[in-house]
Structure 1
Amino acid sequence: MTKRKNYLSSSSGVLAIAKQPAPAKVTRYSDGDSLYLIHHPNGSLFWQMPYRYQSDKDIKPKQKTYQIGVFKSAKQDIDTAFKPEVSLKQARVERDKAKQLLADDIDPTEHKNKEKNKYEQKDLFKVVAADYISEKQDTTPKNVKKLQGFLSKHILKHIGDYPITAITAQDVIQTGLAIQNHFEKQGEWTADTTSKCVELIGSVFEYAINTLSYDIINVAYGRNNRALDVYRASAYPVNPRTHGEQSFATI
C-alpha cells in the first residue's frame, strides 16, 4: 500500500485537541483519507472511518462507519501519565488495514466482529463473567441470583460471545444503550438497572485483570448513565451537515 505523505495532523495536534474544553456539540477532525477523530461533549475522543459497502444482500452500497477505537475516555485526564488507548499512529494503521479489506471486497466491520470470535472458549466474556460470579464470596445467594439475571437477561446477548480481550469501550457503550432502549420501549425507568449492568461488566473486567492476569484495560470504567445519555443524544455516524467538522490543519 502506498505510504501517505499528506497527513493533516500530528500526535501533538491530537493532544492539543484533547486538552481543549469539551465541545458543545459533537465535532470531528479530519486526518485525511477517511480517518476522523470524534470529540464528544462528554470529553471523550475516538477514531472513526466512514465507508460505503455493498454486500450480496444489498441492492446498493450502504454508508457505514468503522469504529477504530478510543483515543481518550471521558474519565481520563490529560497529564504527564496520559497514554491513549489508540494513538494516531495506531489509528492510521487500522484505517489502512480497513481500506485494504475494502479493496478485497471485505466489510471491515464484519471482519472485525468475526475476528472477535477466533479465541479460546475460556476467553469469552460469558465464561469469565460466570467464573467471576461463582467465585464471589462477599455477597448473598440472593445477590448472586440478581447478578446472574443481569448477565442472562441483559448483557450476554450483546457481548457474551466476545473474547474479553477484544471488547472495546464502544461495545460497552452500545450494550448500555441497548439495555436502556429495551426498557424505555416498554415505558419502564431503568437507570438503576442499566447502571448496575455496566457496573457488573466493569467488575468482570477487574476480575479478569486482577485475578486471571489478563493484560487489558477496564473499558467499562466511567461508562455510567450520564455518559450514556451524552452518547445517545448524538446519532452515529456523525453527520457533517448537522455537526461541527474541522481539519487538524486548522488546529
Structure 2
Amino acid sequence: MLTTTQINALKPREKAYKVADSKGLYVLVNPNGSLLWRVKFRFHGIEKKMALGRYPDVGLKEAREKRDEAREQLESGVDPVAARTQARVEAEIAARTTFRLVADELIEKMELEGKAAATVKKARWFVDVLGPAIGNRPIADITAHELLKALKKLERKGHHESAIRARSFAGRIFRYAVATLRAQHNPADILRGALINPKVKHHAAILEPAQFGELLRAIDGYGVLIATEM
C-alpha cells in the first residue's frame, strides 16, 4: 500500500506509468508530472477503469474511500462508470430544466391549444413576477419555502388577489413538470391557504324594473357616446 510520502516522491518518466496501491486503486504518473487516481475492476467479466481525481486535490484517504464506494456498487450489481455517467446526465438535465423554461413551454402549449390572448398574456405576467426569485432555478429543486417567499413579496405590495392567482398558475407549471417527468412534486399545492384571501366585494343587485331600465339606457347612451367620439 502507498503512503503520502511515496506518492510525493513519484517522478515523471518519458512514458506514463502506474503505481499500485491496493484493491485495484493506483496512481497514473504522466510525463508532464500530473498524478491521477484510477481504479480498475471487472464488471460481467470485462475490465474497466474509472477516474477518481487528481492528486493532491484528491488525497490518498479520499481516493480509497471512492474506490470502496465503487466496490460497493459492484457488489450490488451496479457498474460504477455507468452510474456516474447517468448521474452526470441527470444533473445536467436538471440544471437546464429551469422553472422559466418549463413555464415558457407550458405557455406555448396554451397558445397551440387556442387559449385567449389575454389569458396567455396574464400567464406571461405571472412568470415575469416569479422569475427573479425562481425563474432560473431547476424546477425539480424548488421548495415550497422558495415559492412562498416570492409570493409573499407580491402580497406585501398589497396585490393579494394577484399573489393567489400567481400561486395557482405556478401550480399549473409544477403539475406540467410532473406530468412531463421533470419534477416529482408540486410545492404550490402545499401553499393552499398560506396567502391572504381578500374579502370579496358584492355589489347591490338591481331589483326594481325602473332602475334596471335606467341602467340599460345608460349603457345604450354610453355606446352612442363612444360611436360619436370615434
Q: TM-score, normalised by structure 1?
A: 0.38
Larger fraction in helix = 2
Determine which structure has greater relative contact order: mean sequence separation of CA pairs < 8 Å that are 6+ residues apart, divided by chain length.
1
Which structure has the larger Rg over C-alpha atoms?
2
TM-score (norm. length: structure 2) = 0.42
